[in-house]
Structure 1
Amino acid sequence: MTQIIASLAEVSDRYKALFVDLWGCVHNGVTAYPEAVAALQAYRAKGGIVVLVTNSPKPRAGVAEQLGNFGVPADAYDTIATSGDSARSAMFQGSVGEKVYFMGEPARDEGFFQPLEILDNPVNIQRVPLAEAEGIVCCGPFDPMAEVEINRPDFLFAKQKGMKLLCANPDIVVDRGEIREWCAGALAKLYTDMGGESLYFGKPHPPIYDLARRRLAALGVSVSDSEILAIGDGPHTDIAGGMGENIDSLFITGGLAEKETKTAHQPDAEALAAYLAAEQVTPQYAIGKLR
């Protein structure tokens, strides 16, 4: 049974570290949520460790810069693990070949192709047209507002050529302010549904949790999985990921599932129960907004 709580502080003393989602929890893609920032600052002030675990395709330095622009102060977190860093490591190890077709917004996603100095003998990645590619690197759609189906012809060609699609962000949609946009996960799902092979590195898949644990260990602390609380608004990313890793989770109902859970200040208990049953996820806790 999922417990509806009034604040993070109600349960945070049970955990040494938090794995915290960003979009829909700490910010809305435009600006920070002041209550969420205050809750994380208070948790850290008591000795807790905050690892921001995000399906952003950006390297962590790019996410840190973005957070500053959104008004999230550096004292609200300790370190960052991104889907982009997990996926970049795989790409530079040749998971989809050397010649890749890039899908995304060049101005936004250029950092994805920055060299990874932690690897020995990384693959020399070359961005080429689809007809010359060995695989696809997908950071997102070219137009996040366009219907995903417009990619079907290119994906049919890629599938017939046996290309793998590296998905740098498993999220299906995200809300930027009041506008809902498609993410790379929607493209990867279409490719998979068409019979192609998609490789995932963000939540709910293990690679990003392995990275988050390494980021945690790099801080010089030892934290068991039972001492970690995952926080997020994605039932099939944050909550399913926590379940898969045997990590407790706190579901933010006022994000992607705001309407379905009838969340005003807090979710409606009956609507929440029905939603969680339909999505087949069982977070330990739920709250309207991180606070």
Structure 2
Amino acid sequence: MIDFPAGLSALTDRYDVVLCDVWGVIHNGVRNFPEACEALERFNADHGPVVLISNAPRPSSDVLAQLDGLKVRREAWSAFVTSGDATRSLLAARAPGKVWKIGPERDEPLYAGLGLEGAGCEAADFICCTGLFDDENETAEDYRGQLQVAADRGLVFICANPDRVVQRGDKLIFCAGALADLYEELGGQVVMAGKPYAAIYDLALAEAERLKGGPVDRSRVLCIGDGVITDVLGAENQKLACLFVAKGIHGDKALGPDGLLAPEGVAKLLAAESVGAAHAIADLVW
């Protein structure tokens, strides 16, 4: 049975660590969500550490400027880990070498200091994808031809952001996970770094232990996120409780005619991917 709390405050007696998704929960890439930020601030101040856990394909130190620019107060969290942090260890294991870098220029810090040389699909030793070069206008299909060449050569595809889509303002844009799906369809091998895979959770829980000064009771860790196949599945794989933020990238699919959260809508979204969540809420609030 899924619990439907009125807000995060209703769960403070059950959890003392929060691992919280970023994009779709506390901002949409254009503006922050004030009530969600306030909820995290209050938990972080009075109940336990909040560790932000994001599928951003850049090192966490490089993503801070985006949060600051969106006026997400640093009091809302105590630590921050990204898929980029997890990806760098995968890249370092393949250095020196030639990598086909798929993604925008802003993701270049992911490769800093690793001794990797950029190359095209016909000369690279492996692929690292952080996203589409022009995610405002391109889709995965624009990459089919080059990805087929790489798949035929047997190149491993490292996916730095398992998200398939993300909401930017009112628009859904394609992410690296969409290219990873296509690459597997073409017969290629994919290695994932972020949610729902273990590496990023290992980093996040290590940060929680550092902040608490000792071991963390996993039964008292709450994951918060809006992605069924990333956040909810990741929490389930790690045997951690999840508060599913049912709007986010799913929009009004879990809402009833009255605009309120509909339990049957939530159940349908989760059942479609054969996952479960302990709790669900429309938007994160206190």
Partner AA of 1:245 in structure 2: Q
* Percent identity for Structure 1 against Structure 2: 37
What is the correspondence of 1:239-278 to structure 2 with a 5 Å cutoff? Answer: 239-262=232-255, 266-278=260-272
Q: Partners in 2 of 1:159 and 1:71 — Cα distance?
A: 42
Give yes or no for contact 2:12–2:47 (8 Å, CA) kept in 1: no
Q: What SS is found at the alignment partner of 2:280?
A: strand
Give, in whole Å, the separation in 1 of the partners of 2:251 and 2:4: 15
- Aligned twin of 2:86: 86
Note the alpha carbon deviations across 1:241-275, whole angstroms, 9 max, x for none. Answer: 00000000000011112222126764112222222
CA distance in 2, matches of 1:31, 1:244: 31
Q: How much has 1:235 moved relative to structure 2?
A: 0.4
- Number of corresponding residues: 282
Tell me how far 1:87 sits from its aligned partner. 0.5
Matched, 1:46 2:46: yes
The DSSP-based 3-state class of the residue aligned with 1:289 is: coil
Moved more, 256-265 or 242-251: 256-265
CA contact (8 A) 2:121 2:147 kept: no
| SS at 2:243 equivalent | strand
Q: Secondary structure of 1:133's partner?
A: coil
User: What secondary structure does 1:151 align onto?
Assistant: helix
- In 1, Cα distance between the equivalents of 2:46 and 2:165? 34
SS of equivalent to 1:281: coil
- The answer as to whether partners of 2:228 and 2:269 remain within 8 angstroms in 1 is no
Amino acid at match of 1:100: V
* Residue number in structure 2 paired with 1:126: 117
- What is the Cα deviation at residue 3 of structure 1? 1.2
Q: Which of residues 153, 166, 189 in structure 1 aligns to 2:158?
A: 166
1:237 and 2:230 aligned = yes
1:211 aligns with 2:193: no
Q: What is residue 119 of structure 1 aligned with on the other side? A: none
**2:245 alignment partner AA:** I
What is the rounded CA distance, in whole Å, between the counterparts of 1:186 and 1:274 in structure 2? 22
CA RMSD in angstroms comes to 1.5
C-alpha deviation, 1:150, in angstroms: 1.5
Structure 2's unaligned 5+ residue stretches are none
Q: Which residue of structure 1 aligns with residue 102 of structure 2?
A: 103
Residues 1:73 and 2:67 aligned together: no
The CA distance in 2 between the partners of 1:239 and 1:271, in whole Å, is 15
Does the 8 Å contact 1:16/1:223 carry over to 2?
no
CA distance in 2, matches of 1:83, 1:163: 21
The CA distance in 2 between the partners of 1:277 and 1:92, in whole Å, is 38
Task: Work out whether residues 265 and 288 of structure 1, in 8 Å CA contact, stay in contact via their aligned partners in 2.
Answer: no
Mapped contact 1:17–1:228 kept (Cα < 8 A): yes
The separation in 1 between residues aligned to 2:268 and 2:168, in whole angstroms, is 26
User: Where does the alignment leave 5 or more consecutive residues of structure 1 unmatched?
Assistant: 116-122
Residue 149 of structure 2 corresponds to which residue in structure 1? Answer: 157
- For normalisation by structure 2, the TM-score amounts to 0.95
TM-score (norm 1): 0.93
Which amino acid letter does the alignment assign opposite residue 278 of structure 2? Q
SS of residue paired to 1:58 = coil
String of CA shifts for 1:183-240, please: whole Å, max 9, x gaps.
Answer: 0000011001111001101000011111111222232242121110000000010000
Report deviation, 1:278. Answer: 2.1
